[in-house]
Chain A
Amino acid sequence: MNAAIIGQMAISGALMGLVYALIAYGFQLTYATSKSINFGQGELVMVSAFFSLTLTNLGLSQHWGLGLSYGLMVPGGLIFGAIMGLVVERAGVRLALEQKSEGWILLSIILGLFFFSAAENIWGRDDRPFPTPIPEEPFHVLGLAIGPREVAVAVGVLGIMGLIELLKRKTLLGKAFEAVSADRDAAELMGISATRTVMLSYGLSGSVAALAGILVSPITTVGPTMASAIILKAFSVAVVAGLDSGFGVVLVGMFLGALESLASFYLGSGWREAPGLVLLILALALRPTGVFGKATIRKV
């Protein structure tokens, strides 16, 4: 019985952990091309979730039915996320990178705060339910109860990551992406615009954040602070896994999700956030390049 509970907790936690993995993957995308990340990524998750909620409600008000409204909302939300990612790149990150400064850290935080205030003004401060056609009622496999919404998270996360990895490996555009991350100046000499590649990475990273919001909202509800805890754990996952391994973030994300779920069950729900922080401190102390990261020395 005990083993069954542990298994149950671990699996549903691990599936939720994939959301951390997806957001961490978004950090990796922009870090690869520009050595920068959006510190306001949590707010991007949140505004995209709100926007997607509005789209869904718009569909419902037209009596399109929940299935169709939800289905049409997903691409709309992803495009919105991409646009927001491009806004962060153009209005914040690029200004700092052109000056070769680390100002993108502060600029991306400020843009995040701006998005936060905008969301509070547009959508209000209350947490709202996110309608979804995916049923809540769990189904049973090998004695484990698995929620369809958690499965949807897994399918969505692994689906989009697989798609982006396929794009990177099989298309010339993807190889150009890799070339910019390997050597930006040399890539420019091939006729590859580094600026456009960085924009592409921010657009993709924004879409990925939007999908994270869309997938997690039906489980957690939508509100201005919905992503603040998630984003901290996505950072932990990115740091522990390293900033260059997509496979690594999936493993670490699932591991952290499982650990959290077990901690809150056995130690009490107040301990839910502890494993992420412990993992983060251990990683920073023992292996700053990440468990799956290649050792790199940053030139100053």
Chain B
Amino acid sequence: MLLVEDLHAGYGASEVLTGTTLAVKPGTVVALIGANGAGKTTTMRAISGGIHPTKGRVVLDGKEVQGLDASAIARLGLAHSPEGRKVFGPLSVEDNLLLGAYSRLPRFLGYRAKASADLDRVYDLFPKLRERSGQAAGTLSGGEQQMLAIGRALMARPKVMLLDEPSMGLAPVIVQEVFRTISRLKAEGITLLLVEQFAKSALEVADYAYVMERGRIAVEGTPAELSRNERVIAAYLG
């Protein structure tokens, strides 16, 4: 469903990704773990078009998308819930969710009715968001903003979802809730690429995982295989 081949990308003259290759099969959850600065977030941004790769291919559902604008890639079925959540602070919770479905909805009127089934689905998943639907997103707590960022990505009914550091800066109880949500989405058959600093929790929920080091994939395998790998245990699971 998502294929990344020999991806090179960076910021200005400094190359962060030096040939990343990974694949996400339909209906699977794939974890991307690694130390800070290994290039996990850069990989996500290069896939979704936030930065343009200098070399390599990104194939989404059979179409090459490297070099396209982020908005064009999103319209092709990729939803990226970015690091730091990036909710639209001044807009209401519901408006944030509606904008998640922007590419599928009419631009002027009648969009609310057309999105109501998707809204209900997200509100059932996160009842807190229903309570706060009229509130400005910027006034939510960090955990609620994370739920909103995930809900907003789900609204797109994406073919592939990228979820970057959903546990960042959250209390342990909330982190557990985030991972319960991911398990639930997995049960519903979502195709997900997950970047996570909590390697252990990420491996528990993933079908397959990649370990990134200095801009490329160092180790890959099923969670069971990685949990037996001495190097991975020493660096990330110790």
Residues of chain A having any CB pair with chain B under 8 Å: 170-173, 175-176, 178-179, 182-183, 185-195
Q: Does B48 have its Cβ within 8 Å of any Cβ on chain A? A: yes
Closest to A173 in B: B107
A190 touches B74 (CB 8 A): yes
Q: What's the least CB distance linking B147 to chain A, in Å?
A: 16
Known: A189-B82, A190-B100. 20 other contacts (CB 8 A): A172-B98, A172-B99, A172-B102, A175-B91, A175-B98, A178-B95, A179-B88, A182-B90, A185-B70, A186-B82, A187-B99, A188-B70, A189-B48, A189-B71, A190-B74, A190-B152, A191-B102, A191-B156, A193-B72, A195-B69
CA distance A175 to B111 in the complex (A): 11
Contact call B99/A179, Cβ cutoff below 8 A = yes
Please name all residues of chain B whose beta carbon is closer than 8 Å to the beta carbon of A172 when the two chains form the complex. Answer: 98-99, 102, 105-108, 111
A182 to B109, CA, bound (A): 22
By beta carbon, the residue of chain A nearest B94 is: A175
Contact residues in B for A195 (Cβ distance below 8 Å): 69
* CB of B96, distance to nearest CB on chain A (Å): 8
**In the complex the two chains form, is A183's CB within 8 Å of B71's CB?**
no
Contacts of A173 in B (CB 8 A): 107-108
Contacts of B91 in A (CB 8 A): 175, 178-179, 182
Residues of B within 8 A of A186 (CB): 82, 86-88
B102–A189 touching, CB < 8 Å: no
Main secondary structure of the interface of A (DSSP, over half): helix
Alpha-carbon distance between A193 and B103 when the two chains are bound, in angstroms = 10
Kindly list chain A residues whose C-beta atoms are within 8 Å of the C-beta of B90: 178, 182
B142 CB within 8 Å of chain A: no
The answer to whether A190 touches B102, judged by C-beta atoms less than 8 angstroms apart, is: yes
Nearest Cβ distance between residue A167 and chain B, in whole angstroms? 9
Q: Are A192 and B71 in contact (CB under 8 A)?
A: yes
- In the complex, the answer to whether A188 meets B49 with C-beta atoms within 8 Å is yes
- Using Cβ atoms and an 8 Å threshold, which residues of chain A touch B50? 185, 188-189
**Contact between A192 and B107 (Cβ–Cβ < 8 Å)?**
no
B98 touches A189 (CB 8 A): no
- Cα-based distance from A200 to B222 in the complex (angstroms): 48
53-79 of chain B: CB within 8 A of chain A: 69-72, 74-75, 79
The 8 closest A-B pairs by CB, nearest first: A191-B103, A191-B74, A188-B70, A186-B86, A182-B88, A193-B71, A173-B107, A172-B111
Select from chain A the residue with minimum beta-carbon distance to B48: A189
- Give the size category of B's interface with A: 20 to 34
- Which residues of chain B are within 8 angstroms of A170 by Cβ–Cβ distance? 109
CB-based contact B88/A191 at 8 Å = no
Q: Which of A176, A178, A186, A192 has the most CB of B within 10 A?
A: A186
Contact in complex: A194, B105 (CB < 8 Å): no
> Quick one: which of A171, A175, A188, A190 contacts B69, CB cutoff 8 A?
A188
Which residues of the partner chain A approach B102 to less than 8 Å between Cβ atoms? 172, 176, 190-192
A295 to chain B, nearest CB (A): 14
B221 within 8 A of A: no
Contact of A189 among B74, B89, B106, B109 (CB under 8 A): B74
Q: How far is the CB of A204 from chain B (nearest CB, A)?
A: 15
- Give complex CA distance A192, B88 in Å: 13
Query: A189, B88: Cβ atoms under 8 Å?
Result: no
Q: Is B80 an interface residue, CB under 8 A from the partner?
A: yes
For B50, B79, B90, which residue has the most chain A Cβ atoms within 10 angstroms?
B90
Please give the distance in Å from A62's CB to the nearest CB on chain B.
Answer: 35
* A188 in contact with B71 (CB, 8 Å): yes
A-B contacts, 22 of them at CB < 8 A, read A171-B108, A172-B98, A172-B106, A175-B99, A176-B102, A176-B107, A178-B95, A179-B88, A182-B89, A185-B50, A185-B70, A187-B99, A188-B71, A189-B70, A189-B71, A189-B74, A190-B102, A190-B152, A191-B74, A191-B102, A192-B99, A192-B102
Are the CB atoms of B80 and A189 closer together than 8 Å?
A: yes
B108 pairs with A190, CB closer than 8 A: no
Residues of B within 8 A of A178 (CB): 88, 90-91, 95
Cβ B71 vs Cβ A194 within 8 A: yes
Q: Smallest CB–CB gap between A213 and chain B, Å?
A: 28
Instruction: Determine the chain A residues whose CB is within 8 A of the CB of B69 once the complex forms.
Output: 188, 193, 195
Is B74 a contact partner of A188 (Cβ separation < 8 A)? yes
- Cβ B86 vs Cβ A183 within 8 A: yes
Report the bound CA distance from A189 to B87 in whole Å: 11
Interface flags for B111-127 (1: CB within 8 Å of A; 0: not) read: 10000000000000000
Instruction: Choose one: A171, A183, A188, A193; the contact of B88 (CB below 8 Å).
Output: A183
A179 contacts which chain B residues (CB < 8 A)? 88, 91, 99
Whether A191 pairs with B108 at a CB distance below 8 angstroms is no
